[in-house]
Chains A and B, each alone.
Chain A
Amino acid sequence: MKRPVTRDAAARREFLRRAASLSVAGVAAPWALNLSAIGDAAAQSATDYKALVCVFLLGGNDNGNTVVPYDDATHQAYATVRGGLALPRSAFEAAGTVLTPSVALAGGQRLALAPDLAPLMPAFDAGRLGVLMNVGPLVQPTTRAQYLARSVPLPPKLFSHNDQQSTWQSGNPEGAISGWGGRMGDLFAADNAASTFACISTGGTSVFVSGRTTASYQLNSAGPVSITGLSGSLFGSAAASQALRTLVTAATGPSLLEQEHGKLVGRSIAATTTVAAALAAAPALAAAFPATGLGNQLKMVARMLSARGSLDVRRQVFFVTLGGFDTHDDMLVTHPALMTQLGNALGAFDAAMTELGIQDRVTTFTASDFGRTLSSNGDGSDHGWGSHHFVMGGAVRGRQIHGTPPVPANGGPDDVGQGRYLPTTSVDQLGATLATWFGVSASNLPLVTPGIVRYTVKDIGLFT
């Protein structure tokens, strides 16, 4: 990677300055020690623009009915385990979601997308969408025998929603204080003069977009919200309006809670001004987004991307969410509706990126708490582990099946109980691959996804 030396130096200084300010902060001590060993190498610099968009499916998406075996033999095995939840082959044919990847799977295996994911087919067929099979959190490469014997460390608190959401996003269960999206933001801090906009969530509080030094910015999907009382007059009084500004941003209270609240309000006021102006100046988008929760969030991300020139950032990480995936019951009604929402919103976002001409600079990927059991509980599925996900963008090796399709069989080689799949690709490998595309150097990968040191394959080949 060729970079001007001066930028590099500035980047190092910024990185070390922020890191130093952190290192006295108590619990960060282990990281600080680690940092001193890494020293100058860490800070990164870039001259081009790239963004990562994480679409998090809250509740644990049912992988079994998202990417489905289509060839006769495997579909039959799938249908045997799924029972009443199985989707028939004819449904994929009718929807046109049978996949024809550029590289066929071994042994005549074929896959199909959920029928309601039909809006993703144009991106797949155009080579901008890849399917990643059976990915999930691991501590290290793990075989089924090792899992059953508990002979290697496993991620703590498997199958627990909140903890596996956190583990996907950060590498640690609930209580983690930085995620791998935010840690990438840390590395590129010097390139993001407006560091408020390095890591943005439109889907609520998320550790994914929180770095060790980079704070996330929560943006409402309808746009930033300004404080009415600060607009010059509060209950008829300019003095009261001025007093409101003084009070809400006070970061000098007696305890850390008051101080942090004051800082947050200050950030809200400043960001609202900047973002509102940037969005107003950005060209309008022609791409039509569905008026759904996810559609609105991805539309806001697209608008922010169109406004990136005013925001003074070169590397951005976005986090959007879609809830409702905990389909223990009524799954055959609720899951297709969720797939519809996901497919329509992602399809619109793909079109918007092409419209903006930045399809090669923006990579979007899905994630979720966990996959679900292939076995049915009567009208739904229960908490699982490995799951199938999508990676979308012009830089992606699309129209391909990445990873290893699991074998749908009770007691099969990938089964750890009731059709829960032991992941064959780890989230660390996915994260490291995305980070490498983002521009993170090989030596810095452990700062983003620490567990990657335990894998020989650090890049799972998602990008051209």
Chain B
Amino acid sequence: MAEPSDPVPATRSRPAPMSDAMVPGRMQDQGLALEIRPDPSRTRIAVPGLVLASAAVLAACGSGDPGSDAPGAAPGPGPTAGAAPAPAPSASSGASPVPAPGATPAPGPSPAPIALPLTLPPFDLKAASRLLAQASFGADAAEIRRTQAIGLDGWLDEQFAMPRGQSHVDWMVGRGYNVGTFVNSRAEASHTIWRAFITRPDQLRQRMTYALSQIFVISASTISGPCPSIGAGHFMDVLETHAFGQFRDLLEAVTLSPAMGGYLSMRGSQKANPATGRQPDENFAREVMQLFTIGLTTLEPDGTPRLANGAPIETYGPADVSGLARALTGWDFVSGPGIDPATEIRAITPMQPVASRHETGEKRFLGTVVPAGTGARETLSIALDTLVAHPNVGPFIGRQLIQRLVCSNPSPDYVQRVAAVFADNGARVRGDLKAVLRAILTDPEARWPDTRAAGAKLTEPVLRFTQWARAFGVNSPSGAWALGDTSDAATRLGQSPLRSVSVFNFYRPGHVPPNTALASAGLVAPEMQITSETSVAGYLNFMQTAIGSSTGFLGSDLRPDYASLLPLADDPNALVDALNLTLAAGRLGDAAQRTIRDAVTAMTTGTDTHRLQRVRAAVLLTMACPDYMVLK
């Protein structure tokens, strides 16, 4: 946002494109009365939370034209959702927790419901490209055309029906990564993940797996136990197995996976020993609640925090953590005759209970009582049932999946619609992830382009890279896909799949970038947490190397194929149009298009080498544009 301007005059009379200023609660204070103001009496027509709006407003929304009146006009002084006023501290107010002046409570899903028509927009080529940016790792021009032809539902049906390919473990074992020096290696976990993300045809399953890996987090860099690459690959296989399945099954498979067992140290946790003072390990018990199922505070069905006396209600306390930790004692990697502790068998087999280490006394957590004498497996079942039945799970997980796929600040109504499907898929099944995924991707809020920051998200570096790789047929002739760890922000992507620095993922769903207009607007932007003065330079340098490579880069043999673009090299207009559709789903503004076109036009041509340089420059310039980086 530029310098804040004066409040928008109340006299404006025509509908304007949606901008950050046009959150309904603010318009009220500015005296605006546009049709997209929610009218509760009209909101629940067929789908909860949808608001009828004039076609004119929505047409403007999709134009990408910020308009001329007050783009990003300063919000008025009125109430801003998600930003509770914080009274100044006072010596006499010690009886209640007083937020610091200017400190902002974590903005929840702050934007008020936006107006959307009940019908979805036309599924043109831009819409198809946009869907593939949300739900796949990218696509080339041919795949965009094919997707446009079969339509939204056609593509989803095709993806849901698509068979799984070779598992990560099988691919690694096939290449001998389970023996010799590889048993202590970690790079191969990244190789197989890049391979799957870039080449597998079941893109929606792969993309959902990646999204789940950012909720159920382990790190290939730090997991303990045998064969870390195999263990990490197995963990991805576990997520993939359940990506279109039931949340309850997914949670159990994750809980008992050797990788998670080692990462959050449930593996080896024993019942208390009063003689030594030893207590059960609380690590997994705490994080399975905070991060994998219910979160820290009680949620409304739309994902906003429920308040009591103006304050959020915490979902659990120390006694629930220690109670659940007691319930989850007694699990370990498989062992027994014939199982070599050094082989990958232990890394790919669910943990097993060891009865002597399990706490057999009564266990209490979250209002559930597990009677004394209950065994480890049954206790685990009760514990996971308790967690999955908690009403927070739908909005908590649903909102994060929306953030991974569609936008950073979904409206509460969007979250509620998705959470409702989580609660019941229509056949009285709770936690059907395939239905949840369909609900997320077919929601009007996902399908209508939305140029407000609330309706956008910064595309994370991993997805920018894979999008380039898939758009331009990147291949690894040796089949090794040896790109490895791309975590270094100074020289690579500042992000690498399955390698976040902690169980809190690369970024937090509630991250508010300090000192930005986003913070002032009460918006979260998770991906900004890994965006810094260093990473923005590292990304551009990494992409320049990758884009310019002809035999491989950074130790890999990955190489692009620009055959589809070379014929356009002498026609800068056509080249920019092709890149704008394939990479940016039509988001490049006029100024950016002109800048790229002029730069390409100024470049020498006449030989194939010149044409290749033109293509490379145009690709990098496109991927450097903020217009490209922000998906909306």
| Contact of A159 with B286 in the complex, beta carbons under 8 Å | yes
| Contact of A329 with B20 in the complex, beta carbons under 8 Å | no
Docked pose: A37 CA to B89 CA in angstroms: 12
Interface mask (A374-397 → B, CB under 8 Å = 1, otherwise 0): 011111101100000000000000
Chain B interface mostly: loop
| Contact of A256 with B102 in the complex, beta carbons under 8 Å | no
- The answer to whether the Cβ of B632 comes within 8 Å of any Cβ in the partner chain is yes
- The answer to whether the Cβ of A13 comes within 8 Å of any Cβ in the partner chain is no
Most chain B beta-carbon contacts within 10 A, residue among A178, A250, A255: A255
Docked pose: A4 CA to B476 CA in angstroms: 67
Which residues 1-32 of B have a CB within 8 angstroms of A?
Answer: 1-4, 19-20, 26
- The answer to whether the Cβ of B66 comes within 8 Å of any Cβ in the partner chain is yes
| Contact of A175 with B544 in the complex, beta carbons under 8 Å | no
- The answer to whether the Cβ of B536 comes within 8 Å of any Cβ in the partner chain is yes
- Closest chain-B Cβ to A372's Cβ sits at a distance in Å of 10
> What residues of chain B lie closer than 8 Å to A453, measured between beta carbons?
89-91
- The answer to whether the Cβ of B519 comes within 8 Å of any Cβ in the partner chain is yes
> What residues of chain A lie closer than 8 Å to B75, measured between beta carbons?
25-26
Most chain A beta-carbon contacts within 10 A, residue among B72, B103, B521, B548: B103
| Contact of B106 with A329 in the complex, beta carbons under 8 Å | no
Among B95, B281, B599, B630, contact of A328 (Cβ-Cβ < 8 Å): B281
Which residues 39-69 of B have a CB within 8 angstroms of A?
Answer: 64-66
| Contact of A31 with B101 in the complex, beta carbons under 8 Å | yes
Among B77, B453, B514, contact of A255 (Cβ-Cβ < 8 Å): B453
In the complex formed, the residue of A with least CB distance to B72 is A256
Among A31, A227, A329, A454, contact of B265 (Cβ-Cβ < 8 Å): A329
Q: Do A268 and B515 contact each other (CB < 8 Å), given the known contacts A26-B80, A170-B103, A382-B281?
A: no
| Contact of A204 with B532 in the complex, beta carbons under 8 Å | yes
- The answer to whether the Cβ of A105 comes within 8 Å of any Cβ in the partner chain is no
Which residues 165-219 of A have a CB within 8 angstroms of B?
Answer: 170-179, 182, 204-205, 207, 210-219
Name the segment of A49-57, A67-75, A240-248, A339-347 touching the other chain.
Answer: A240-248
In the complex formed, the residue of A with least CB distance to B7 is A24
Q: Do A378 and B4 contact each other (CB < 8 Å), given the known contacts A156-B312, A157-B314, A253-B627?
A: no
| Contact of B66 with A254 in the complex, beta carbons under 8 Å | yes
| Contact of A256 with B268 in the complex, beta carbons under 8 Å | no
Among A159, A177, A267, contact of B318 (Cβ-Cβ < 8 Å): A159
> What residues of chain A lie closer than 8 Å to B102, measured between beta carbons?
28, 30-31, 34, 177-178, 212
- The answer to whether the Cβ of B451 comes within 8 Å of any Cβ in the partner chain is yes
- The answer to whether the Cβ of B525 comes within 8 Å of any Cβ in the partner chain is yes
Name the segment of B246-254, B336-344, B364-372, B590-598 touching the other chain.
Answer: B590-598
- The answer to whether the Cβ of B625 comes within 8 Å of any Cβ in the partner chain is yes
Most chain B beta-carbon contacts within 10 A, residue among A155, A159, A253, A254: A254
- The answer to whether the Cβ of B352 comes within 8 Å of any Cβ in the partner chain is no
| Contact of A239 with B278 in the complex, beta carbons under 8 Å | no
- The answer to whether the Cβ of A95 comes within 8 Å of any Cβ in the partner chain is no
| Contact of B100 with A253 in the complex, beta carbons under 8 Å | no
In the complex formed, the residue of A with least CB distance to B26 is A26
Name the segment of A258-266, A280-288, A303-311, A312-320 touching the other chain.
Answer: A258-266
Name the segment of B181-189, B207-215, B414-422, B505-513 touching the other chain.
Answer: B505-513
> What residues of chain B lie closer than 8 Å to A177, measured between beta carbons?
102-104, 512, 514-515, 519
| Contact of B528 with A139 in the complex, beta carbons under 8 Å | no
Which residues 517-548 of B have a CB within 8 angstroms of A?
Answer: 517-525, 528-534, 536-538, 540-541, 544, 548
Docked pose: A33 CA to B321 CA in angstroms: 41
| Contact of B279 with A256 in the complex, beta carbons under 8 Å | no
Interface mask (A225-248 → B, CB under 8 Å = 1, otherwise 0): 111110000111101101110111
| Contact of A247 with B595 in the complex, beta carbons under 8 Å | yes
- The answer to whether the Cβ of A290 comes within 8 Å of any Cβ in the partner chain is no
Q: Do A215 and B281 contact each other (CB < 8 Å), given the known contacts A26-B83, A30-B88, A161-B504?
A: no
- Closest chain-A Cβ to B72's Cβ sits at a distance in Å of 7
| Contact of A175 with B510 in the complex, beta carbons under 8 Å | yes
| Contact of B103 with A380 in the complex, beta carbons under 8 Å | no
> What residues of chain B lie closer than 8 Å to A259, measured between beta carbons?
1-2, 72, 517, 626
Q: Do A323 and B502 contact each other (CB < 8 Å), given the known contacts A31-B102, A262-B626, A329-B268?
A: yes
- Cβ contacts A to B, 18 pairs, < 8 Å: A83-B277, A156-B97, A173-B105, A213-B515, A227-B541, A229-B544, A240-B621, A250-B592, A253-B589, A253-B630, A255-B456, A255-B632, A268-B532, A323-B502, A328-B264, A377-B279, A451-B89, A451-B100
Which residue numbers of B lie inside 8 Å of A, CB to CB? 1-4, 19-20, 26, 64-66, 71-72, 74-75, 77, 80, 83, 85-91, 94-107, 224, 264-265, 268-270, 276-283, 286, 290, 296, 311-312, 314, 318, 321-322, 451-453, 455-458, 489-491, 501-502, 504, 508, 510-525, 528-534, 536-538, 540-541, 544, 548, 589, 591-592, 595-596, 598-600, 602-604, 613-614, 616-617, 620-621, 624-627, 629-630, 632
Extra contacts besides A219-B534, A228-B540, A247-B626 (14): CB < 8 Å: A29-B77, A83-B277, A84-B276, A171-B103, A235-B617, A240-B617, A242-B599, A248-B625, A254-B64, A256-B523, A329-B268, A329-B283, A377-B269, A379-B268
